[in-house]
Structure 1
Amino acid sequence: MEILTLVLQSENLKETVKFYREVLGFELLFRKKNQVAFQVGTSELVFEKETIGATPKYHFAFLTPNHSSELGFQWLKERGIKILNSGDGPIVDFENWKAKSVYFEDSHGNILEFISREDLQIDMVGNFSTQSILGINEIGVVTDSPLEMAEIIKAKSGLDYFPKGPKGTDILAMGEDTGLLVISKKGRNWCPTKSPSKPSRIKVEIKVGNKSTWFEFSR
């Protein structure tokens, strides 16, 4: 599975552009009155102006090469970005996934992540830079019933459960190392924080095999 396009909500598009363009260095594809879009590796990241008075909060992850976690951590620190430490420090080792992650916040308090996946065998070349961010690898979706939502997604797109897990009533993953939907039960804390997950509006285009499918999740 690949995440082709991810559309999120923003309370302040000016601040969004400042963070994603000026701090992370993503290419600005277009900027309209109520929408901005960035090229993030192989993915397109779009933010729309939040217009109904909600406070959207998201968790999503960017794919980076193997052995890039420490380099990515230092790169974020150099830019003054807030790192979200776990109990074991800034780098989280998911042994069962053969993956390592660094978590951080954007200017709106969204939980972002750099994740490197050993099984993809993507080598780190040179210094860490914006070009080391290869695409959007995960998006967190929040619902009252993760398993029920997963079955709907599976029927519509053919996307299956992630073989490495988890698959529970409170959290589960669908997809492959190349892209995941992480579906959380409302109120469950996002790793590595004590910030409870809550539904926010998401539109996402995924590709499974040769088929692309749009999903929209509401608050």
Structure 2
Amino acid sequence: MYIKKAILNTNQLTKMQKFYCEIMNLPLITSTTTLFEVQVGTSILSFIQSEKMEETQYHFAFNIPSNLFKKAKEWLRAKVELLEEDGADEIFFEWSNAHSVYFLDPCENVLEFIAQHDVSPSRDEEYFSSDLIVNIGEMNVTTDDVLLVGETLKQLGIPVGKHAQLDEKSLNFMGEKEDGTFLLLGPSGRTWYFSSKKAIVSPVKLELSNHLTLILDSEGHLSAIKTDEQK
């Protein structure tokens, strides 16, 4: 499973477009008065203007080449403030053999650069640039019906990572480690790593590589559309 396209809501469309295009240097694909889309490696990240201007909160990660974590971190440091926890501005995840660094966008969504050393490709580059981002590697799915949504994802062929059981009070990594892509399923109110930001149920639409589109509405209810594999 890979994330082909992620569609999120924002109440600060102009600021967000400026950040992702001018600060993060991501190529602009589409821009209108109500949405914009940028290229993130092999994925597309899209923001649409919230009709009700409600507050949203997302966490998502960009996969970067496995050998360029230090260079990517320095590239980020020149553009944004890196988030810290217990005096550290990076973390190593033993289970996934990955290094991560965190930062915020203008809507204070918690963003992450992650180098997954077992699955992300390496690149022989002297400098890091946004063109080297691999894809969107993580996207939150926040709901207060964690068990119901989790079981639905499992039935759709998206398993719980780490061979774990669904936990309605914590974060569940949905997906296969070998794909390097996870849906982060968890309840509202939990605090995201390296931040004080609390998870909020926020609408998201995900177009996945397995001919599947997931739609989480503003109430945290999940629906799925299976597309024709011949298309």
TM-score by length of 2: 0.87
Greater fraction of residues in strand: 1
Question: Which secondary structure state, in structure 1, belongs to the residue aligned with residue 15 of structure 2?
Answer: helix
Supply the AA of the counterpart residue of 2:64: T
Deviation at 1:84, TM superposition (A): 0.9
> Deviations 1:8-62 (Å, cap 9, x if unpaired)?
0111221111110111111110111211111110001111001113111110000
Query: CA–CA distance in 1 between the matches of 2:163 and 2:82?
Result: 26
Supply the AA of the counterpart residue of 1:105: L
Deviation at 1:145, TM superposition (A): 3.0
Deviation at 1:167, TM superposition (A): 4.3
Moved over 6 A (4+): none
Q: Report percent identity of matched pairs.
A: 29
Query: CA–CA distance in 1 between the matches of 2:83 and 2:18?
Result: 20
Supply the AA of the counterpart residue of 1:78: A
Deviation at 1:121, TM superposition (A): 4.9
- Give the equivalent residue in structure 2 for 1:91: 90
Deviation at 1:203, TM superposition (A): 0.6
Query: CA–CA distance in 1 between the matches of 2:189 and 2:13?
Result: 27
Taking a change above 3 Å as real, the CA distance of residues 43 and 75 of structure 1, as seen in their structure-2 partners, is: same
Query: CA–CA distance in 1 between the matches of 2:113 and 2:163?
Result: 19
- Gapped runs of 5+ residues in structure 2? 219-231
- Give the equivalent residue in structure 1 for 2:116: 117
Task: Figure out how many residues of one structure are paired with residues of the other and give that number.
Answer: 214
Report matched runs for 1:163-174 at 5 Å: 163=162, 167-169=166-168, 170-174=170-174
8 Å contact 2:150–2:166 — kept in the other structure?
no
Deviation at 1:184, TM superposition (A): 1.2
Report matched runs for 1:124-143 at 5 Å: 124-126=123-125, 127-143=127-143
> How well do the aligned residues superpose, as a CA RMSD in angstroms?
1.6
- Give the equivalent residue in structure 2 for 1:185: 187
> Deviations 1:112-136 (Å, cap 9, x if unpaired)?
0001111115213211111121110
TM-score by length of 1: 0.92
- Give the equivalent residue in structure 1 for 2:18: 18
- Give the equivalent residue in structure 2 for 1:75: 75
Question: Which secondary structure state, in structure 2, belongs to the residue aligned with residue 47 of structure 1?
Answer: strand
Query: CA–CA distance in 1 between the matches of 2:132 and 2:78?
Result: 16
Query: CA–CA distance in 2 between the matches of 1:45 and 1:8?
Result: 8
